[in-house]
């Protein structure tokens, strides 16, 4: 993976139809990158501006900035005086909105998110943002941690991970077989063979891919989400992040059920802080959104 400095030198971003950011309220923003139009939702707290600081927020698997978990965090954080920019990862689709359509052949890779996080970070800096914190939910939490670990000088302060995924090859294989009825090893070996033969762009028909059944996916994309890669396990990234990190989990989360057991021994209360929200599941909705926002506000101390 090329470092952030390299990708920044080759990516160009143009703000479409956007003048100075409004002093307060909500704004939809678009950037151009690599022939794709990327979208985000900027929410400023009442009376706030980007100069007061902002949280750059990345959604989970195949999601978007309007999904309930993300919009609930934006609204709750605004009530606490915290500005947020929630982005929609393109997943290779121009002006993508809503959840990823499983009928669309997938070429996106898990690590593609890092370049887009970096692009939006640069946009915020160009808009005169003050303190910038990175935040991600679920898979977006892992992608946020991966970016932070590999780009310590990119210009952000703190990192917040909301129920980040903890990739485990054995658990992933078992989950794949339960969901799709076939062993993961079969399509994965086919995909890895194509990648080894420099045919990673070749499309495969697989029993399942992420949330999609009977999907079309490139070999390189399949390997990026299911192949051996220790950095998809957020726990391996935490020691490499230079900035303070807050990890928030839910005690009723059945997507990342072992977060407290894995992260707890690593948390020292300063460099790595762990907050578990009693009875919250993976989505952190309703009162749990408020609890998560309280934890974020306390951690940021803006």
Domain shared by 54 and 182, yes or no? no
Domain shared by 186 and 240, yes or no? no
Q: What is the pLDDT of residues 25-64, one digit of tens each?
A: 899 999 999 899 999 999 999 999 999 999 999 999 999 9
Domain shared by 60 and 206, yes or no? no
Which stretch of 17-31, 207-221, 284-298 has the lowest confidence by average pLDDT? 17-31
Domain shared by 260 and 139, yes or no? yes
Distance between CA atoms of 192 and 197, rounded to whole angstroms? 9
Instruction: Quote the pTM value.
Output: 0.91
Sheet containing 83-88: which strands, arranged edge to edge? 25-33, 36-44, 83-88, 54-58, 132-137, 159-162, 245-250, 272-277
Q: 248 CB contacts (<8 Å, ≥6 apart)? A: 160, 161, 162, 163, 275, 276, 277, 284, 292, 295, 296
Domain shared by 162 and 180, yes or no? no
* Beta carbons within 10 angstroms of residue 256's beta carbon: 19
- The pLDDT score that the predictor gives to residue 167 is 85
Residue span of the structural domain in which 206 resides: 170-226
Domain shared by 120 and 193, yes or no? no
Choose among 161, 141, 167: nearest CA to 244. 161
Lookup: tokens for 51: 């100069």
Structural domain tally of the chain? 2
């Amino acid at each position: 993976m090329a470092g952030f400095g390299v990708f920044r030198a080759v990516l160009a971003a143009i703000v479409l139809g956007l003048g100075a950011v409004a002093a307060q309220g909500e704004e939809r923003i678009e950037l151009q990158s690599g022939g794709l139009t990327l979208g985000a939702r900027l929410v400023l707290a009442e009376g706030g501006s980007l100069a007061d600081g902002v949280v750059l927020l990345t959604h989970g698997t195949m999601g978007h900035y309007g999904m309930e978990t993300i919009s609930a965090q934006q609204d709750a954080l605004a009530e606490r005086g915290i500005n947020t920019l929630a982005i929609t990862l393109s997943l290779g689709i121009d002006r993508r909105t809503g959840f990823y359509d499983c009928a669309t052949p997938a070429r996106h890779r898990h690590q593609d998110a890092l370049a887009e996080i970096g692009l939006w970070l640069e946009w915020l800096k160009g808009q005169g943002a003050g303190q910038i914190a990175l935040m991600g939910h679920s898979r977006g939490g892992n992608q946020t941690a991966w970016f932070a670990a590999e780009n310590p000088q990119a210009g952000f302060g703190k990192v917040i991970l909301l129920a980040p995924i903890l990739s485990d090859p054995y658990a992933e294989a078992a989950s794949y077989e339960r969901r799709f009825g076939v062993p993961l090893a079969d399509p994965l070996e086919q995909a890895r063979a194509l990648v080894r033969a420099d045919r990673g762009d070749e499309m495969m028909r697989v029993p399942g891919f992420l949330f999609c059944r009977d999907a079309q996916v490139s070999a390189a994309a399949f390997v990026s989400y299911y192949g051996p890669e220790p950095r998809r396990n957020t726990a391996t990234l935490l020691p490499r992040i230079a900035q303070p990190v807050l990890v928030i989990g839910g005690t009723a989360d059945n997507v990342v059920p072992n977060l407290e057991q894995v992260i707890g021994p690593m948390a020292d209360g300063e460099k790595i802080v762990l907050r578990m929200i009693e009875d919250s599941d993976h989505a952190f909705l309703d009162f749990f959104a408020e609890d998560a926002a309280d934890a974020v506000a306390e951690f940021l101390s803006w």
